[in-house]
Structure 1
Amino acid sequence: MTDDRDGRADHGTPPTAPPGDVRTVTYGEGFPPPADAPSPDADAQHAVYTAAPAPVPLPDAAGPREAVSRLRSHGCWYPSAGPDGTEAAFICDRGGVPQLWAGPVDGGEVRLLDSSPDPVTEVSWSPDGRWIAYTTAPGGGEHSRVLCVRPDGTGRRVLAGADPDSTAYLGCWAHDGSSLAVTVAAPAARPFDDGSGRRPPPEQVPGDGPPEAAPPPAGWTDRGGHATLLGSAVYDATTAAGTDTTRGGGGEPGEARTGATATGAGVRSDGGLSVYLIDPEGHASPVLLTTETHAATLRVCDLSRDGRFVLLRRGPRGRREAVVRRTDDSATTFALPVADGDPWIGRFSPDGGTLWLRSNVDREYAALVAVDLDALGVPFGRTVVAERQESDLELLALAHDGRTAVLAWNAQGASELELVETSPARHTARRPAPDATGPPRPLPLPHEVVTRVTGAGAGRLLLALSGSQRKPGVWWVHEGVSLLRTPWSSKDEDAVPPGRPPVRPVPLRLTARDGLPLSGWYYRAPGRPEGEPAPCVVHLHGGPEEQERPVFHPLYHELAGRGLDVFAPDVRGSSGHGRSFVDADLGAGRFAALDDVADCAAHAVTEGPADPTRLAVMGRSYGGYLTFASLVWHPALFRTGVAVCGMSDLLTFFAGTESWLAESAAHKYGHPERDRELLRALSPMSRVDELRAPVLAVHGEHDTNVPPQESWQFVRAARERGVAAELLTLRDEGHDFLRADNRRLFRRSAADWLERHLSR
């Protein structure tokens, strides 16, 4: 169960168990608070957590500039360029954990800017070049904080999220570099709280739900998950003006207007998300831009150059929207649904007259949309200026001068890049500019997938690339026509150990039993004669809205090196195949997604070719849920399974996950109060008596997205029924495994397990 890190409150995790110690854990059962624990004062906590963040100075970066235990092969990603484009800050795991580094783009010494072991997740260099802002995940968990440091490593400080019970994440810089937009999440208040700080088991939760719960949208509960184009809605900016940004209960402002009723808005009440403009120098007090309660996400994507307008991205997965607000009176002037995926959804033109957005409104696939704004920020025209059949626009970036747009298209999982010259909007009438863009110029890529695009000074762009045969690296566009690899990115030949060439996957296409087209990537273990059946692992991605891409997967190469094939499909609910495909697993449609797993396994046998007697299923997050579910829905199909951070009971998952994730998950799976029977029927624990195959569960001890109890309770139930089951708990990890030693331990343990059970 994954999402981008947009404003999440850390509610803590239950005490963790050592590997092999399996316990069933539910809030309010098994883990009472210490006897001397003070009773929480909700009002006092709210007052503390909604206060403006205060910068906390930190010691300058210490330790060697080169990592002590440097990895032979490392990845570099998430670049952000300095104002003249000659240097870039980036994330690199050469020291065994993602850390903040900086260095010249075309050669020279790189420097470590923060030697802390806390993983870095996002980076942003200020337009004036004075500061580099970045986000870290202390302890590897889900709590995040925003820091900044000078390019020489001095002046390091926490801007927001210093309190371990709050969380913060990056927004954009003001164009003059004077301030940084930061979102701060206040902690959620759990409904049905008896004052003990404990959550009652799901069966003790009243069925009526909290009084602020919104009614289910008409027709949602009987959705069968059929792949049909979503109906369009009418968007009227005049109805958005003056929207109350503090309204709670029934969902976020604008949801009724956009036709996206908040099925999960009443799952929990929370303190909301607040956006501040923070001066990293500390000379000016933080300025509050907006506050929203019951918001799943809230990120500032851009500020107009004159500071009059702010572009926000808000809403839970599947119901994101772009919102334009005036900064002088906080009036909302415009709202439009936008696609999931990359959170940086758009930019204002230099004169503020055009808003460029990546949106899939009224369409299956995301396109480039130009919205024309008047002097008050009210739209008077909207035009689709770049689109492709059956391809999503997944990344949108503008050069620093705002005159060149970079479009990254998702073409069946691989990326295709185009440069488009944009003309500044100068409106003399209330109608769109006739020629918003020039003809696109394709830019050939040396590897399959672009993961980030950012401007880098006048006419220069930085790209983060990944491919099936290389570690992630950073490249820069030379003279707008060619790509050059930065010298600090790994070389292709360093991707895997000598003598073990990386496996290039081949695409496979199939049809599900109900006629829905499916696809995936097949990794054939080297050295086996053509046509000889092989043991095969069906690997299922998370999300559910993630997509299987031809990028470098160390796990897949580890398994292929053990003689195991891997088939990595996109079952219904995955992104990259249109909105209808994403929504084809809503509600009762998830039963068909479980059938998709079996259909994909059968296709691996006929087209792989995989050995039908030596099949395994494996997945992470939502893929971990599918792994648990497949083992009990199709007990005779798989010989074994490996479930990583997966949900085993959707009701206990809702009881333990974070509020921002519950908001999105209710839309995908069902409401934990109104749809309890559906959630129970979809839960692997409800069919655990059918389990026959041995299972390995893996979980990060600090995971608050999918609490570790989800793995513990399934493993315990398996053992109680005489089925072999093991649990691997990774220390100092959350929902994502970020530390090199833990990633190696995970890969080797999973490969050992699968090799042992599939080799017989």
Structure 2
Amino acid sequence: MPGHRGVDPPTLLAAHGCWYPSADPTGGHVAFICDRAGVPQLWSGPARGTEVHVLDGDPDPVTEVSWSPDGRWIAYTSAPGGGEHTRVLVVRPDGTERQVLAGAEPGSSAHLGCWTRDGTALAVTVAHPSPLRSEHAGPGHRPPEAEAASTAVGRTPGAAASERDGPALGPARSGGLAAYLVDPDAATAPVLLFGEEGAASLRVCDMSADGRYALVRRGPRGRREALVLDTAAGRTTFALHVADGDPWIGRFSADARTLWLRSDAEREFAALLRVRLNEEGRSRGLSVAAEREQSALDLLSVPDHGRWAVLAWNAHGATELETVDLTLDRTDGDIGPRHHPVLPHEVVTRIAPVERGGLFAALSGSRRRPGIWELDEALVPARTGWSARDEDAVPPGRPPVRPVPLRCEARDGLVLGGWYYRAPERDLGRPAPCVIHLHGGPEEQERPVFNPLYHELLGRGLDVFAPDVRGSSGWGRSFVDADLGAGRFAAIDDVADCAAHLVSLGYADPLRLGVMGRSYGGYLTMASLVWHPDLFRAGVAVCGMSDFATFFAGTEPWIAQSAAAKYGHPQHDRELLRSLSPMSRIDQLRAPVLAVHGEHDTNVPPTESEQFVRAARDRGVPARQLTLRNEGHEFLRADNRRLYRRAAADWLEQHLSPAP
């Protein structure tokens, strides 16, 4: 296997997933992420063949992939030890000359940006305090006097970024992010494009063909901005609010006179916006090019030539894909003809267009793990030969359950959505033990994709309801913002209202209800157990925050900046955050709780689980902690994911299955 560097070939799993495709310039070969060796790794192979090989055989999970436009390099992001600190690497398509471009220094972290259009340089974002150093003083460096103006979008020149994002979280934890252009061949020194102290996020999404303009996405959750940066002058020429979700928010046209953006500026649902730019990169007009009622634009992909685009719309969790002709771009808002392919599975997670026409799409569905399909120029989908067949994409045994959509009303009248999974062979007329599973974010959305955890729970005879409580995406900006500040108390009540609705329908046994979730869902699990102590018989909290004060003190600085915009500022909103912390009501805990955490989680430190478990035990409540080795905030290794699923199912089966 080229690129495997002397490591014994891995044992390949039949039930595996492939995702995050990136095609070479010809469309003949594809680089992608695959977990067939038990951990997400970088693989590559022919688009229409079956022989694929590992490009990086290290055990560090890979999270993003990008093939250079000139075909000479494949860039990717990996997470050493499975933790949250990532690094950016490049490797030749044959697996040779692998090197780390950024994020190798202790304490640093880096992630991918875009390639320049000619493929000679890659944009990377580096998290301070270990930035990529450069002595280069040419175009791209932002002069000190431009610092305030270029980061103070929407305010008068001179207003600091920290004034817009709220006060900094303290000099010792403020951190910073900087974006650089890096030449993998090391023929030129790295060039600083953009830097911001106390930044919550920063990514270079596109560069104009001549390199003069950069499209940058910055800002905390719920307040993301798209910036057009004049790299020569070191100033921002345009800014607009853009949607959360996929970080690849838009692209310049080939002549850089039009900017295509996925944005929900002044609207409920993200749409495709057209921004006309003048010779100085400033807006001379903005219009809506494509929109859908009650559906958000999830993914936007435009090839370098800019003649057409691929749009992925979120229709209540499922994806509707369309390609549109941009050559008939007119000022009245209309764009060219649209084509709507029929997809074999419910959700598209990534789009990789091919310059000659057609595209590769990562698909996932309620009955299979992720796979990659090629759509030809006529948009007819065909599964790639190295993606698992549908019949091999799930473990043997009972077939996966197809969920049904379910709506319910919260106590304040807000309508919530979700998906209900009924255990196989369940008597429909008899209330069942049921687990409410809460997703993370909170801006994530529950979607009809195959979840091995649900499959494990269903196999134990437990039904699953996966709701979108307020704060979730997919239902409009007002719904996402409904949990801000003190609105989080209502989000906690949403969990109880979902349980009450399931009982009223006769689906769930009121005496055998469980609750579980990961990340924000882990927090919401702990909160539900202490706010509604008599409702749930057991809980499983995964990587959740138990106390906002200790969370803010221990998390990464850029995560703290983003979290402050969502939950509240750790100093100014101290009392609100204390009231919202599950630890403040730990005396109300009654139900047995299992806490699960990755040992290298620096997003939500493992101490958040440890203190909740310790406090529960001190009060005589059964509690256990499972720490997964070599994992961070996401569980990416097959053996650990299996251990987690079985431990969670064992715990819930023990406390929910026997009739009380």
What's the TM-score once normalised by structure 2's chain length? 0.94
User: How much has 1:434 moved relative to structure 2?
Assistant: 4.5
Separation in 1 of the partners of 2:355 and 2:385? 19
Matched, 1:495 2:399: no
Q: 1:135 aligns with which of 77, 93, 97?
A: 77
Tell me if 1:254 matches 2:153.
yes
Work out whether residues 323 and 332 of structure 1, in 8 Å CA contact, stay in contact via their aligned partners in 2: yes
Displacement, 1:68? 2.0
Find out whether 1:317 has 2:218 as its counterpart.
Answer: no
Counterpart selection for 2:28 from 71, 79, 86? 86
Find out whether 1:68 has 2:18 as its counterpart. no
| Residue 82 to residue 466, structure 1, CA distance change in 2 (3 Å) | same
Instruction: Determine which of 77, 87, 106 is the counterpart of 1:145.
Output: 87
Measured after TM superposition, the shift of residue 651 of structure 1 is 1.1
Letter in 2 for 1:301: C
Which of 345, 358, 376 aligns to 2:262? It is 358
Q: Report what 2:469 is aligned to.
A: 571
Residue 597 of structure 2 is aligned to residue 699 of structure 1 = yes
Matching residue of 1:268: 170
Partner-residue secondary structure (3-state), 2:340: strand
1:733 aligned partner, one-letter code: E
How far off its partner does 1:63 sit?
3.7
**Cα distance change, pair 718–157 in 1 and its aligned pair in 2 (3 A):** same
Mapped contact 2:440–2:519 kept (Cα < 8 A): yes
Say whether the 8 Å CA contact 2:3–2:54 is kept in structure 1. Answer: no
Correspondence 1:557 to 2:557: no
Which runs of 5 or more structure 1 residues have no equivalent in the other structure?
Answer: 1-58, 190-240, 426-431
1:313-338 deviations in Å (ceiling 9; x for gaps) = 00111010000011211121100000
Aligned to 1:109: 51
For residues 586-640 of structure 1, the C-alpha deviation after alignment (integer angstroms, 9 at most, x for no partner) is: 1111111111000001112223601111000000000000110111110110000
What is the identity, as a one-letter code, of the residue corresponding to 1:708? P
Instruction: Determine whether 1:118 maps to 2:19.
Output: no
Aligned equivalents of 1:629, 1:345: Cα separation in 2: 34
Task: Choose from 482, 490, 500 the match for 1:592.
Answer: 490
What is the deviation of 1:423?
1.6
Cα deviation, residue 662, structure 1: 1.1
Which residue of 2 is the match for residue 337 of structure 1? 241
Residue 176 of structure 1 is matched in structure 2 by: 118
1:281 to 2:205 alignment: no
Q: Deviations over 1:354-394 (max 9, x none)?
A: 00000000111100000000111111010101011111101
Q: 1:260 to 1:183 in 2, by over 3 A?
A: closer
Amino acid paired to 2:309 = A
Cα distance change, pair 244–320 in 1 and its aligned pair in 2 (3 A) = farther
Instruction: Determine the C-alpha separation between the residues in 2 that align with 1:252 and 1:384.
Output: 26
Structure 2: gaps of 5 or more residues = 132-141
Q: CA deviation at 1:287?
A: 1.5
| CA distance in 1 between partners of 2:108 and 2:81 (Å) | 14
1:410-450, Cα deviation, whole Å (9 max, x unpaired): 1111111111000277xxxxxx7446621322121111111
The residue number in structure 2 matching 1:348 is 252
1:470 corresponds to which residue?
A: 368
Does the 8 Å contact 2:230/2:281 carry over to 1? yes
Question: Corresponding residue for 2:350?
Answer: 452
Larger mean Cα displacement after TM superposition, 739-748 or 656-665: 656-665
CA drift at 1:285? 1.3
Distance (Å, rounded) in 2 between the aligned partners of 1:371 and 1:467: 34
The answer on whether the counterparts of 2:254 and 2:304 sit within 8 Å (CA) in structure 1 is no
Q: Cα offset for 1:457?
A: 2.9
C-alpha separation in 2, matches of 1:595 and 1:749: 27
1:61 to partner: Cα distance = 3.6
Instruction: Normalising by structure 1, report the TM-score.
Output: 0.82
Q: Residues of 1 paired with 2:114 and 2:597: CA distance?
A: 33
**Which amino acid is the alignment partner of residue 88 of structure 1?**
V
On the 8 A contact 2:14/2:393 being kept in 1, the answer is: no
CA distance in 2, matches of 1:277, 1:641: 46
> Partners in 1 of 2:492 and 2:657 — Cα distance?
26
Contact kept? 2:15, 2:388, Cα under 8 Å? yes
1:247–1:293 Cα contact (<8 Å) kept: no
Instruction: Give the match's secondary structure for 1:350.
Output: coil
Report matched runs for 1:226-265 at 5 Å: 246-247=147-148, 252-254=151-153, 256=155, 262-265=164-167
User: What residue identity is the alignment partner of 2:153?
Assistant: G
Equivalent residue letter for 1:354: T
Indicate yes or no: 2:282 matched with 1:378.
Answer: yes
Match of 1:648 in 2: 546
The 3 A distance-change label for structure 1 pair 540 and 260 is farther
Aligned partners of 2:269 and 2:476 also within 8 Å: yes
Change (3 A) 1:137 1:265: farther
SS in 2 for 1:246: helix
| Matched letter for residue 114 of structure 1 | D
Q: Deviations over 1:194-216 (max 9, x none)?
A: xxxxxxxxxxxxxxxxxxxxxxx
Query: 410, 416, 433: which is aligned to 2:320?
Result: 416
Secondary structure of 1:420's counterpart equals strand
Q: Distance in 2 between matches of 1:243 and 1:525?
A: 61
1:618 alignment partner in structure 2: 516
TM-superposition CA deviations, 1:654-705 (whole Å, max 9, x none): 1111111111111211111111111111111111111111000000011111
Is the 1:357–1:369 Cα contact (8 Å) retained in structure 2?
yes
Contact between 1:470 and 1:492, CA under 8 Å: does it hold in 2? yes
Query: Which residue number corresponds to residue 109 of structure 2?
Result: 167
Give the stretch that moved more between structures: 336-345 or 474-483: 474-483
Residue number in structure 1 paired with 2:137: none
Q: Deviations over 1:68-103 (max 9, x none)?
A: 221121000000000000100000000100000000
Query: How well do the aligned residues superpose, as a CA RMSD in angstroms?
Result: 2.1
**Gap change, CA 1:448 and 1:354, over 3 Å in 2:** same
Q: Is the Cα contact below 8 Å between 1:145 and 1:169 reproduced in 2? A: yes
Which residue of structure 1 aligns with residue 292 of structure 2? 388
Give the one of 561, 566, 582 matched to 1:668: 566
Which 10-residue stretch deviates more, 570-579 or 396-405? 396-405
Distance (Å, rounded) in 1 between the aligned partners of 2:526 and 2:268: 31
Letter in 2 for 1:161: G
After superposition, give the CA deviation of every residue in 1:118-151 in whole Å (9 maximum; x if it has no partner). Answer: 0000000000000000000000001110000000
In structure 1, what is the equivalent of residue 139 of structure 2?
A: none
Deviations 1:139-184 (A, max 9, x none): 0001110000000001100011111211111100011111111111
Q: Please say if 1:677 is aligned against 2:575.
A: yes
CA distance in 2, matches of 1:736, 1:255: 35
Structure 1 residues 421 and 533: CA distance shift in structure 2, 3 A: same
CA distance in 1 between partners of 2:379 and 2:120 (Å): 34
- 1:211-251 deviations in Å (ceiling 9; x for gaps): xxxxxxxxxxxxxxxxxxxxxxxxxxxxxx99965349xx9
**Residues 1:398 and 2:299 are matched in the alignment:** no
Letter in 2 for 1:158: V
Q: Aligned with 1:443: secondary structure?
A: coil
Q: Is the 8 A contact 2:116 2:209 kept in 1?
A: yes
1:695-740 Cα shifts (integer Å, max 9, x gaps): 0000001111111111000100000000000000000111000111
The aligned counterpart of 1:538 is 436
CA distances 1:514-537 after superposition (whole Å, capped 9, x unpaired): 000101000000011222211100
Give the secondary-structure state (helix, strand or coil) at the position aligned to 1:751: helix
Pairwise mapping of residues 172-211 of structure 1 onto structure 2 (< 5 A)? 172-187=114-129
Q: For 2:283 and 2:568, how far apart are their aligned partners in 1?
A: 35
Q: Distance in 2 between matches of 1:380 and 1:300?
A: 23
- SS at structure 1 position matched to 2:482: helix
Question: Are the aligned partners of 2:15 and 2:395 in contact in 1 as well (CA < 8 Å)?
Answer: no
